[in-house]
Amino acid sequence: MKVVVDLNRCQAYAQCLYAAPGHFALHGKEALVYDPSPDEAARGEIERAVHACPVRAITAFSDAAPKDGETR
């Protein structure tokens, strides 16, 4: 999966830490660090974190690739 957090929005309510403890953590009182590339097996937890965030700061999608034409 791929995860991004809008840290302008994040107000350190820490709900994501409870929903997906291995993938979100606080460094200090309010500095959120997160796993930008969690394993697909964590999908349920990550989706719970997305929904648990009171300020809707977390975006996550399964690894997209198939439908994009990725020419180089």
Partner 1 sequence: MTAAPARIVVVGASLAGLTAAQRLRERGYAGALTLVGDEPHLPYDRPPLSKQVLRGPYSADTTLPRPPDLAVEFRLGQPATRLDLSERVVELGNSSRLPYDRLLIATGTRARPWPNPEEAALAGVFTLRGRDDAQRLGACLQAKPQRVVLVGGGFIGFEVASTCRDLDIPVTVLVRDAVPLAAALGPRLGGLIGEVARERGVDLRLESEIERMEAENGRLSAVTLKDGARIETDCLVAAIGTLRNVEWLEGSGLEADAKGLRCDAFCRVLRADGRVAEGVFCAGDIARWPNPHDDDALVAVEHWGNARAQAETAAANMLAGDTSAMRRHDHLPDFWSQQFGLTIKLVGLADGADAFAVMHGSLEARRLVAAFGRDGRTIAAASIDSARWLPAYKAAIRERAPFPPITDAVDQPGIRVQEP
36 touching partner 1, by CB under 8 A: yes
Q: Which of 17, 33, 40, 43 binds partner 1 (CB under 8 A)?
A: 33
Distances (CA, A) of 69 to 25, 51, 66, 72: 35, 31, 8, 9
Please tell me whether residue 30 binds partner 1 under the rule CB under 8 A: yes
What are the structure tokens assigned to 63, written together? 């690894």
| Residues 48-67 within binding reach of partner 1 (CB under 8 A) | 59-64, 66-67
- Of the candidates 13, 23, 62, 25, the one whose C-alpha atom is nearest the C-alpha of residue 45 is 23
Using the minimum distance from each CB to partner 1, give the nearer residue, 18 or 33.
33
Residues that bind partner 1 (CB under 8 A): 1-4, 6-8, 10-12, 27-37, 59-64, 66-72
